[in-house]
Amino acid sequence: MIKITVNGRSVELDDSMTVEHMLDRVDVPPNYLAVEVNAEVVPREDYTTQPIQDGDQVELVTLVGGG
């Protein structure tokens, strides 16, 4: 079992996994635009290879409109 933080919320996962698999297992905002792991943006083409490991800080970045 590993613990990560997703958008400031503690999440437990069965094991280390890729960004792609993590997105399938956590509540993902429907309008997310980007994934950051430990403050580094992960390009979409790397979602299948970028590992998520114990202690990682993940941010699912969304677009917020306003005026």
Q: What tokens were used for 10?
A: 């503690």
In-domain check, residue 33: yes
Q: State percent of the chain over pLDDT 70.
A: 97
- CATH number reported for the structural domain that contains residue 34 in this entry: 3.10.20.30
- How many structural domains does the chain have? 1
In-domain check, residue 20: yes
Residue 40 is part of which domain span? 2-62
In-domain check, residue 52: yes
What CA–CA distance (Å, rounded) separates 47 from 44? Answer: 5
The whole-number pLDDT of residue 67 equals 64
In-domain check, residue 14: yes
**How does DSSP assign 1-30, residue by residue?**
-EEEEETTEEEEESS-EEHHHHHHHS---T
Q: pLDDT (tens digit, 9 = 90+) per residue, 14-43?
A: 899 999 999 988 888 777 889 999 999 999
Within 10 angstroms of residue 51's Cβ, the number of other Cβ atoms is 12
In-domain check, residue 67: no
Q: How does residue 63 score in pLDDT terms, banded at 50, 70 and 90?
A: confident
- Report the chain's mean pLDDT, rounded to a whole number: 91
Contact 56, 37 (CB under 8 A): yes
